[in-house]
Amino acid sequence: MTKRKTHTIDAAEGTTLGRIATQAAVLLRGKHKPSFVLYKDEGDFVKIINASKLRVTGRKADQKIYWRHSGYMGGLTGIKLGKLLKTDPAIVLKKAIYGMLPTNKLRDKMIKRLIVEL
């Protein structure tokens, strides 16, 4: 049985999306612990506050597009990063962290320990 702590990360004014996402991914995965092993899920809980104050650098807000498909013909729709940051920054942060976690059976368990507050 692993002891899980709760880490709070403050996405204060001027903090970039990638910096917060990498910190959270390391904590969720448990790489900060000396008992880290690739095949075990020993990560901690991560709570991110002030997610609405995140920023992105360069022209990513206008150029990066998140795609989704409905499953029907012609059902491909996309939304730009800037618009999604204004409407729901928690989705952007979860997608960034989800992409940084390993693609195996543990990824869904790890992302459930993430809490994002606006």
> CB-based contacts of 81: which residues, under 8 Å, 6+ apart?
56, 60, 61, 62, 63, 64, 65, 66, 92
Residue-wise pLDDT for 16-64, tens only, equals 999 999 999 999 999 999 999 999 999 999 999 999 999 999 999 999 9
- Full-model pTM: 0.94
Yes or no: say if 77 and 68 are a contact pair by the CB < 8 Å rule: yes
- What integer is the mean pLDDT of 1-29? 95
In the chain the domains, ranked by start, together with CATH numbers, are 6-56+88-116 (3.90.1180.10)
> How far apart are alpha carbons 28 and 2 in whole angstroms?
13
Residue 87, pLDDT score: 97
Region 84-113: mean pLDDT is 97
